[in-house]
Amino acid sequence: MTLWNGSYPFYPGANACFPFDTTRAVIITVFLSMLTTFIIILPGIRGRGRLFWFLRLVMGLYVGAVVLTIQFTRDWETGLVQANASYKSFSRAVVNVDIGLRIGLEGVNITLKGNPVNQINETINYNEHFSWSFGSNYDRSYSEGLEKGLPSPILYVAEKFTSQSPCAMHRQYRISGHYASATLWLAFCTWLISILLFSMSILLHGGYMLLLTAALILFSLLFFFTARNNPKCPIQFGPVSLKTGYGESFWLTLVTGLLCLLLGLGVIILNSVEPEKLKIIFNLDKRKGAKEVWDKPCLLAEPSCSVQDVLMVPPGELFEVRATPL
């Protein structure tokens, strides 16, 4: 029995899909505000040091923004399939839908979108997130989905990741996600330390911290890789199956880790081979100007020269003078 133009009264409406991730938007806004602030003061830097300073700024903010953002993204592993599936329990209605699965470090995100969106007098456009982060209970979220009467394809995919499922994917992804997240937080801390060391002109140790940041980022990928490559139960919808692959966050993390590795090695190698060039890159080559001041000849006949300038001697050439009484 159906009411209200054929819809089932005991099923709530679809969750509205928010156009973007608010956490990611906040992080990107903060880092873009910092970049804009530094660009405003960029004209105050003279010479070629302006370009090096701007490049260091962009690289530093990019690494920090990526390491912090990927903690909350849900596309470390993604999959999408188009299939004909039963819509809801106690219904014989079969709909043509796109079923999407996105796995992050804190849970899974399942989407269901109809082709077309409006079918069987309903708007089929669902976006459900099931979390396994600290303080969250994945099985409870799944039970709440059952009580709400979510569409059968969403519940079928979500059931594969429950702790009671024989697939055992919940334990694999949950543990690997926690270790990867903890490693990325450590990478964010080492990135902050490297920025502090570079600002204090301790270049060699800053390079070491960049190498440590790269190692932690790559280790986080290794943790996720172990869960991704374990045997998994197939997610089958009739003749087609939902297969997943590495998502944008995984590849972005890999690029960022390799970038930190190259930058750290570059700083260490330049510090041992061409330390003067490294100082130029970090705008630390100030001895040259001081040396020119000491080596500049000065004559009393010149209007810009005074007796005090003539009597000034470099500290390295000072010597003791004894006066003998007449």
Each residue of 267-287: pLDDT tens digit?
Answer: 999 999 988 888 888 877 655
Rounded to whole angstroms, the Cα distance separating 98 from 262 reads: 41
pLDDT on residue 304 = 46
The predicted model gives 244-263 an average pLDDT of 94
Q: Do residues 59 and 125 both lie within one domain? A: no
Task: Write down the mean pLDDT value for the chain.
Answer: 81
Please give the average per-residue pLDDT across 136-144, as a whole number.
90
Q: Distance between CA 141 and CA 130 in Å, rounded? A: 6
Domain annotation covers residue 148: yes
- As for how many domains the chain has, the answer is 2
Q: What number is the average pLDDT over the span 182-188?
A: 95
Residue 117 has pLDDT above 70, yes or no: yes
Q: Quick one: 258 and 175 in the same domain?
A: yes
Please give the pLDDT value at position 47: 67
- pLDDT given for residue 65 in this prediction: 93
Half-sphere exposure of 142 (CA within 13 A, CB side): 21
Crossing angle for the helix pair 22-40 and 49-69, to the nearest 10 degrees: 170
List of residues 6+ apart from 241 with CB closer than 8 A = 81, 234, 235
The reply to whether 47 and 121 lie within a common domain is no
Query: Same domain, yes or no, for 117 and 44?
Result: no
| 309/303 Cα distance (integer angstroms) | 12
Q: Which of 137, 170, 203 is the last residue of a domain?
A: 170
The pLDDT value given to residue 297: 47
- The whole-number pLDDT of residue 206 equals 92
Give how far the C-alpha of residue 286 lies from the chain's centroid of Cα atoms, to the nearest Å.
36
Amino acid, res. 85 = A
Mean local confidence (pLDDT), 64-93: 89
DSSP 167: T
> 181 and 70 in one domain?
yes
The predicted structure's pLDDT at residue 27: 85
DSSP-derived 3-state class of residue 228: helix
Residues 100 and 145 in one domain: yes
Query: Which residues on neighbouring strands pair with residue 113, listed in sequence order?
Result: 98, 125
* Mean pLDDT of the region 43-48: 72
Question: Cβ contacts of residue 46 below 8 Å, gap of 6+?
Answer: none
Give yes or no: residues 58 and 201 share one domain: yes
Phi, psi of 312 (to 5 degrees): -70, 130
End-of-domain residue from the set 141, 170, 199: 170
- 212 pLDDT band, cuts 50/70/90, is very high
Quick one: 66 and 148 in the same domain? no
The residue range of the domain holding 184 is 38-74+171-233+248-282
Pairing of strands 236-237, 107-119: unpaired
Whether 301 is in a domain gets the answer no
